[in-house]
Amino acid sequence: MSYPKPILTVDIVMLALLGGRLHVALMQRDRAPEAGEWALPGGYIHTNEDVNSEAAARRVLKTKLGFEPRHLEQVITEGNATRDPRGWSVSIVYLALHEEAEMNELATRKGLNLVDVEQTGELAFDHAHLIRLAVDRLRSKASYTTILGHLLPPVFTIAEMFDVYEAVLGRAIDRANFRRKVLAFSTLEPVSMRRGTGRPAQAFRLTRDLDYFDRQIA
């Protein structure tokens, strides 16, 4: 007995922190269905060349945007009979993180729309829903990992990292406790002293993709 095959795609929630708020990158669809509507970057999985869904996500970002994300991870899978008018559809959703300057440059070069994640409005398919799920997952993971370091420039200070965590988590964090936790990791490598109007500050860079706190940030 044969069964109809569902539509199988990857969609990428590309996030950056602009003006202290999370923004998502959207592309305008150039074909039906939902032609002219704003949507997440995404595409079909190519079973003849993609060894897995992550390879598909990286291929989509490279071919459509010429972009290689600093951090990419699978966050959710969403599938049902109503999310796509073409039929039963499954989307494997990836989260891509990168710094503000890179996001702005990419948006200018590729005509992306950078939208506050809390103000997306209606988007193509169920993409507003996918963004909410991915952002919730990011905030949950940020409470116990160094994942938000990928929203910073390649070289940053602990104070800058602290500001990113407070902005994304949306709550006050104990500064001394945060500093103690992140400095305990070999993930952060000191690289230089940052000089400004005040005292010089130690700058760091990430040496690994991710580290885990011993307990959640208070």
**Chain segment 6-17, per-residue pLDDT in tens:** 999 999 999 999
How distant, in Å, are the alpha carbons of 14, 22, 90, 134, 181 from that of 218?
A: 27, 21, 36, 22, 11
**Chain segment 43-64, per-residue pLDDT in tens:** 999 999 999 999 999 999 999 9
Same domain, 27 and 83: yes
Same domain, 42 and 126: yes
The tally of domains found in the chain comes to 2
What is the mean pLDDT of the segment spanning 141-146? 93
Same domain, 176 and 135: no
Burial bucket for residue 71 (CB in 10 Å: 0-12, 13-18, 19+): middle
Among 17-26, 63-72, 85-94, 195-204, the range scoring the smallest mean pLDDT is 195-204
Question: Domain span at residue 86?
Answer: 7-142
pTM attached to this predicted model: 0.93
Tell me what the pLDDT averaged over the chain comes to.
93
Domain containing residue 93: CATH number:
3.90.79.10
Same domain, 156 and 73: no
pLDDT value at residue 211: 87
Same domain, 121 and 69: yes
Query: Which position has the higher pLDDT, 110 or 182?
Result: 110
**Chain segment 185-209, per-residue pLDDT in tens:** 778 899 987 665 567 889 999 998 9
Answer whether residue 214 is part of any domain: no
Same domain, 38 and 14: yes
Among 67-81, 111-125, 188-202, the range scoring the smallest mean pLDDT is 188-202
Answer whether residue 218 is part of any domain: no
Same domain, 197 and 115: no
CB-CB contact of 29 with 39 (8 Å): yes
Domain containing residue 163: CATH number:
1.10.10.10
CB-CB contact of 18 with 118 (8 Å): no
Q: Using CA atoms, how far apart are residues 45 and 80, in angstroms rounded to an integer?
A: 17
Same domain, 138 and 182: no
N-term to C-term CA, the chain = 55
